[in-house]
């Protein structure tokens, strides 16, 4: 059942738009509220009146409809939903989404939303198989967009093959899975991710090579188990996942402040590569060569250790604190010592020696260290590591 869930349904301009009328009915049968949005092209296939009647809601059609803006702006509209569904998702809508265009109400909502987006593609088989659409699909997968279908079969245009919009029950199942209450529902988890930037002067900084991939995968996996995730991220290469509360910071001290402001939390996962040192005598104006040939002397101060600070909180410590340890030798010994020194509950340790190919690669081989000892995991995709770790976190948080 989808009782109390609000779905923002964007209906694109394709022949399958008629199935969206049935989708509205079935969603409402399951207790969901459906807020419909029609693209201009969709109005050629279904009328606003029929959509509005079935949804028992106002239909949103125009970006510059002043009444709508007065009632509910497009930003608010995009966020007041639990899930955004695009059905049918035309080749044009997919292309707009993949390239970030926002030139009408539907595409603007899709850019502005902080919620998960599920698309049900629908188009002619040639259009579906076109390299441009397949390229866009890859981009959308990478952006965390959920995809239902398309199915294979006879099409309205007389051709046969993949491209037919998924049947309504299949779309409902995908919506149900996206909205399902996971074991971490009602739980708040803080995740840190990415590198930090420590300024030398207004234009230069000290950084590290962290891409943010590990932290992002953790945030995604925890979100998928229903957690409310506060994602505190430095300037990472990987975009933050949808459906999490993103707090962007640059320095270690800003990261600590953001983590403290996000409390209370049921668990905290510290995947960020935080700079150990900051430049204490950072200049307020750009440092220049003075012709003497003398390099400026940078002085360093130690940054706060966020993991240790949170692990050692007297009051309001999260029930479970997880740190990471990237080591090049004596992985288990070093990581075990780190767990005790920082006083976190778990350390996720891995060997990042060049020969393992783990740093910058897609796979990881971790050792999970807790008070009981060390558990060696087989090598697997980083996403799978994140999924299994999130499940362990859910078990531990649930048991507290
Ligand atoms: O001491 P080391 O940097 O190896 O510890 C790694 C773990 O500590 C990671 O979980 C990292 O996010 C965290 N850490 C932190 N604040 C720091 C340094 C590390 O939270 N200043």
Q: What is the per-residue pLDDT across 340-354, written as a single tens digit (0 to 9) for each?
A: 999 999 999 998 888
Residue 110 sits in the same domain as residue 230? no
- The pLDDT of residue 42 is 96
CATH number of the domain where residue 358 is located = 3.40.50.10300
Residue 280 sits in the same domain as residue 239? yes
Residues 322, 366 contacting (CB under 8 angstroms): no
Round the CA-based radius of gyration of the chain to a whole number and report it: 24
Q: Is residue 39 one of the residues assigned to a domain?
A: yes
- Sign (positive/negative) of CA torsion 175, 178, 183, 188? negative
Q: How far is the CA of 125 from the centre of ligand 1 (A)?
A: 50
Residue 30 sits in the same domain as residue 160? yes
Residue 148 sits in the same domain as residue 214? no
Q: How far is the CA of 185 from the centre of ligand 1 (A)?
A: 28
Dist. CA 43–CA 205, nearest whole Å:
52
C-alpha distances out from residue 364 to 72, 142, 381, Å: 45, 19, 6
Residue 170 sits in the same domain as residue 232? no
Q: Whose CA is nearest to atom 13 of ligand 1?
A: 307
**How many whole angstroms from its chain centre is CA 116?**
8
Residue 58 sits in the same domain as residue 138? yes
Residues 140, 147 contacting (CB under 8 angstroms): yes
Treating both helix axes as pointing N-terminal to C-terminal, what angle do 168-179 and 17-29 enclose, rounded to 10 degrees? 50
Q: Which residue would you say has higher pLDDT here, 209 or 33?
A: 33
Q: Which domain holds residue 272?
A: 188-398
CB atoms within 10 A of CB 96: 22
Average pLDDT along the chain: 93
- pLDDT level of residue 110 (50, 70, 90 thresholds): very high
Q: How far is the CA of 324 from the centre of ligand 1 (A)?
A: 7
- The pLDDT of residue 126 is 94
Q: Is 157 a catalytic residue?
A: yes
Dist. CA 64–CA 102, nearest whole Å:
13
In percent, how much of the chain has pLDDT > 70?
Answer: 98
Ligand 1 pocket member 327 (CB < 6 A)? no
Q: Vertex 196, ends 195 and 197: CA angle to 5°?
A: 125
**In this model, does residue 194 exceed pLDDT 90?**
yes
Catalytic residue among 157, 239, 301, 340: 157
Ligand 1 pocket member 348 (CB < 6 A)? no
Summarize the confidence of residues 368-376 as an average pLDDT: 96
Domain count, the chain: 2
Give the torsion through C-alpha atoms of 52, 53, 57, 61, to 10 deg: 10
- The pLDDT of residue 72 is 66
Domain boundary (179, 196, 212) is at: 179
Residue 171 sits in the same domain as residue 66? yes
**In this model, does residue 66 exceed pLDDT 60?**
no
Q: Is residue 154 one of the residues assigned to a domain?
A: yes
């Amino acid at each position: 059942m989808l009782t109390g869930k609000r779905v923002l349904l964007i209906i694109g301009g394709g022949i399958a738009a008629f199935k969206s009328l049935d989708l509205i009915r079935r969603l409402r049968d399951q207790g969901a509220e459906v807020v419909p949005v029609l693209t201009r092209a969709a109005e050629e296939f279904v009328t606003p009146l029929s959509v509005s009647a079935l949804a028992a809601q106002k239909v949103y059609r125009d970006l510059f409809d002043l009444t709508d803006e007065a009632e509910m702006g497009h930003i608010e509209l995009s966020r007041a939903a639990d899930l955004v569904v695009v059905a049918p998702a035309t080749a044009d809508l997919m292309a707009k989404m993949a390239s970030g265009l926002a030139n009408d109400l539907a595409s603007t909502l899709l850019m502005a939303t902080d919620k998960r987006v599920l698309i049900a593609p629908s188009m002619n088989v040639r259009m579906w198989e076109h390299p441009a659409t397949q390229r866009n699909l890859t981009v959308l997968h990478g952006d965390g967009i959920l995809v239902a279908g398309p199915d294979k079969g006879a099409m309205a245009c007389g051709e046969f093959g993949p491209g037919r919009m998924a049947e309504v029950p299949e779309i409902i199942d995908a919506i149900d899975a996206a909205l399902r209450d996971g074991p971490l529902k009602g739980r708040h988890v803080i995740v840190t991710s990415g590198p930090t930037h420590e300024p030398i002067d207004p234009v230069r900084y000290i950084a590290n090579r962290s891409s943010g991939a590990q932290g992002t995968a953790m945030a995604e996996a925890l979100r998928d188990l229903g957690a409310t995730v506060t994602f505190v991220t430095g300037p990472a290469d990987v975009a933050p996942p949808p459906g999490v509360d993103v707090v962007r910071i640059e320095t270690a001290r800003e990261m600590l402040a953001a983590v403290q402001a996000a409390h209370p939390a049921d668990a905290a996962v510290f995947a960020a590569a935080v700079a150990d040192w900051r430049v204490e005598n950072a200049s307020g104006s750009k440092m220049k060569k003075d012709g003497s040939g003398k390099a400026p002397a940078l002085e360093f101060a130690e940054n706060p250790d966020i993991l240790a600070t949170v692990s050692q909180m007297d009051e309001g410590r999260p029930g479970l604190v997880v740190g990471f340890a990237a080591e090049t030798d004596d992985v288990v010994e070093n990581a075990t010592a780190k767990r005790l020194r920082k006083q976190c509950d778990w350390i996720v340790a891995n060997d990042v020696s060049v020969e393992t190919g783990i740093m910058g690669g897609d796979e990881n081989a971790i050792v999970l260290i807790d008070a009981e000892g060390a558990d060696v995991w087989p090598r697997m995709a980083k996403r799978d590591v994140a999924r299994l770790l999130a499940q362990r976190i859910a078990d531990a948080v649930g048991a507290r």
